Amino acid sequence: MKAAPKKRILMLLENRPYPQDVRVRREATALVAAGYSVSVICPSDPGQPSRETVNGVRVYRYAAPTPASGFLGYLWEYGYSMAASFVLSVLVFFSHGFDVVHAHNPPDMFVFIAAFYKLFGKRFVFDHHDLAPEMYQARFPGGGSRIVYDVLVLLEKITCCLADHVIATNESYKRMEMERGGVPEARITVVRNGIELQRFRRIEPDPELRRKGKTIIAYVGVMGFQDGVDYLLRALHHLLRDEGRSDFYCILLGAGDAWPGLKDLAHELALDDNVWLPGFIFGDELRRYLSAADICVDPDPSNPYNDRSTMVKMMEYMALGKPIVAFDLPENRFTAQEAAVYVPNNDERAFARALAQLMNDPVRRKSLGALGSRRIETELAWDYSIPKLLEAYQKVLPPPMGASQPLAQERRVAIPPRRRPLVRASGYESRDPR
- What are 236-252's pLDDT values in tens digits? 999 999 999 999 999 99
Tell me, rounded to whole angstroms, the distance of Cα 207 from its chain centroid.
30
Distance of alpha carbon 385 from alpha carbon 307, whole angstroms: 22
Name the residue with higher pLDDT: 262 or 421.
262
Does 325 have pLDDT greater than 90? yes
52, 59 Cβ separation under 8 angstroms: yes
Distances (CA, A) of 309 to 170, 255, 298: 8, 20, 13
The answer to the question of residue 431 being in a domain is no
- 189 compared with 212, residue with greater pLDDT: 189
Q: Are residues 176 and 245 in the same domain?
A: no
Q: How many CB atoms lie within 10 A of CB 148?
A: 17
208 and 147 share a domain?
no
Predicted pLDDT of residue 201: 67
The answer to whether position 417 is within a domain reads no
Whether 66 and 32 share a structural domain: yes
Question: Quick check: 384 pLDDT over 80?
Answer: yes
Residue 352: what are its φ and ψ, rounded to 5°? -65, -40
Of 349, 378, 407, the last residue of a domain is: 378
- CA-based end-to-end distance of the chain: 44
- Given a cut of 60, is residue 405 above it in pLDDT? no
Q: For the residues 276-298, what does the mean pLDDT come to?
A: 91
Last residue of a domain, one of 328, 349, 378: 378
Q: Residue 202: what pLDDT? A: 62
Q: Is residue 434 part of a domain?
A: no
How much is the pLDDT for 1? 42
Q: Tell me if 3 is assigned to some domain.
A: no
Residue 50 identity = S
* In-domain check, residue 412: no
Phi and psi torsions of 114, nearest 5°: -60, -40
Task: Specify whether 253 is located in the same domain as 334.
Answer: yes
Do the domain assignments include residue 402? Answer: no
Whether 369 and 388 map to the same domain: the answer is no
Whole-number Å distance between alpha carbons of 83 and 32: 27
CA distance 251 to 127: 33
Q: Are 100 and 10 in contact (CB under 8 A)?
A: yes
Q: Tell whether 142 and 103 lie within a shared domain.
A: yes
pLDDT of residue 399: 60
Shared-domain flag, residues 233 and 313 = yes
User: 102 Cβ partners below 8 Å, 6+ apart?
Assistant: 9, 10, 11, 12, 125, 127
Q: Residue 261 pLDDT > 90, yes or no?
A: yes
- pLDDT for the residue numbered 284: 83
CATH of the domain at 246: 3.40.50.2000
Residues 339, 363 share a domain:
yes
Residue 400: the pLDDT is 46
Structurally, the chain folds into a number of domains equal to 2
Same domain, 216 and 156: no
Determine the Cα–Cα distance for residues 122 and 115; give it in Å rounded to an integer.
Answer: 9
Domain hosting 145: range is 8-194+382-396
Query: Among 66, 64, 71, 226, which Cα is nearest to 151's?
Result: 71
**57, 47 Cβ separation under 8 angstroms:** no
Q: Are residues 205 and 172 in the same domain?
A: no
Q: Are residues 37 and 136 both part of a single domain?
A: yes
Model pLDDT for residues 45-57, shown as the tens digit of each residue: 999 999 999 999 9
Structure confidence at residue 74 (pLDDT): 80
2 located within any domain: no
What is the rounded CA–CA span in Å between residue 32 and residue 407?
10
Backbone angles phi, psi at 412, to 5 degrees: -70, 135
pLDDT exceeds cutoff 90 at 96: yes
Q: Which residue has the higher pLDDT, 284 or 383?
A: 383
Q: Is 95 exposed, middle or buried (0-12, 13-18, 19+ CB in 10 A)?
A: exposed
Peptide linkage before 304 cis (omega within 30 of 0): no
Please give the backbone phi and psi of residue 335, each rounded to the nearest 5 degrees, phi first: -70, -60
Least confident of 130-134, 402-406, 420-424: 420-424
Q: Give a yes or no: residue 1 inside a domain.
A: no
Q: Which of 417, 411, 400 has its CA nearest to residue 1?
A: 400
Do 40 and 188 belong together in one domain?
Answer: yes
